[in-house]
Amino acid sequence: MIIIDTQAAEKLVEALKSLPGSDDERAILFRRIPQDDPESRPRLITHMQRHFPDSELYICDGGDIVLMAHRAPFRECKKAIYEAAVMFGAQPLDSIGNIYDLSMEAGALLTLLEEKIETRRKAEEAALARRSQEQSAAQAAHRRKHILEQDAYRSAGQIAAQRNLRREPSLMIIEDDAFSRRLVENVLAKEYRLTGLESAENALFTYARLAPDLLFLDINLPDVTGHELLGKIMALDPDAYVVMLSGNSDRENVMQAMRLGAKGFVAKPFTREKLFQYIERRVALRKETVC
């Protein structure tokens, strides 16, 4: 007897497709072999080897075992099933396996095997997708933790002191959308010193280093939300002047930003007038503070 336990279903499909069409080719599909008993499979193999020494035994995924019996009388196949049922205590006695007369039923067995292979393939793809999602989630959580817990290396007092010593206002924008970021840069860079970041990766460190007078902050950033980053910036610099940017201007989105300390909200697409409105307001407030 030849025992096949690696890619057994696929190899069995190939064997069935290349059958010579003889009338005495039969297959026995065993379905109810106990899975929790480690001795059940060796016992079945020994039993079938005694009945059909000139055969192949395919041990398929999911517990199914298929015997390809060559020159096997139907009665002998039936007897082997009954004896296996008695061995494993299966009732009724013919419920442990099905006999396929391959001269007429090879197609039915092929269909069954191909469906099992497809089911297994989908299950493997789903498991792979779950693992990929879990890995992506773990990586995202690591990036988020790194961003929100990075050391800015400066205290709120140092940030305020640098801001007060500066004569001209400094602006900063954190916006992952390249088009929106360039739009703001094109509008403001001619008149103000402006630093743009495309992600929150080094946002806290850069903010502490530059001590900007005004920060335009996108709500929908990758890795962390603008709301999360806003909370960290306000903790780092209670005097921060932050204006949120977003295409989602629903009331709760705006109110959450305001609760966290934002001074304003600009909905996309931006207008030059709206941006300068906040800048002029901040500049005026800064002059009052310095005076």
Q: DSSP letters of the chain?
A: -EEE-SSHHHHHHHHHHT----TTEEEEEE----SS-TTHHHHHHHHHHHH-SSEEEEE-GGG-EEEEEET--HHHHHHHHHHHHHHHT-SSTTTTEEEEEHHHHHHHHHHHHHHHHHHHHHHHHHHHHHHHHHHHHHHHHHHHHHHHH---SS-HHHHHHHHHH-SS-EEEEE-S-HHHHHHHHHHHTTTSEEEEESSSTTHHHHHHHH--SEEEEESS-SSS-HHHHHHHHHHH-TT--EEEEES---HHHHHHHHHTT--EEEESSP-HHHHHHHHHHHHHHHHHHH-
Please tell me whether the peptide bond between 92 and the residue prior to it is cis, using omega within 30 degrees of 0.
yes
Q: Which has the minimum average pLDDT: 129-138, 156-165, 211-220? A: 156-165
Predicted pLDDT at 21: 64
> What is the CATH code of the structural domain delimited by 2-123?
3.30.70
pLDDT in tens, 195-212: 999 999 889 999 999 999
* Region(s) of the chain under CATH 3.30.70: 2-123
Q: What is the mean pLDDT of residues 136-158?
A: 88
Predicted pLDDT at 189: 81
pLDDT grade for 288, boundaries at 50, 70 and 90: low
The residues facing 193 across adjacent strands are 170
Q: Say yes or no to pLDDT of 40 above 70.
A: yes
Cα-Cα-Cα-Cα torsion 218, 224, 230, 231, nearest 10 degrees, comes to: 160
* Region(s) of the chain under CATH 3.40.50.2300: 156-290
Architecture of domain 156-290: 3-Layer(aba) Sandwich (3.40)
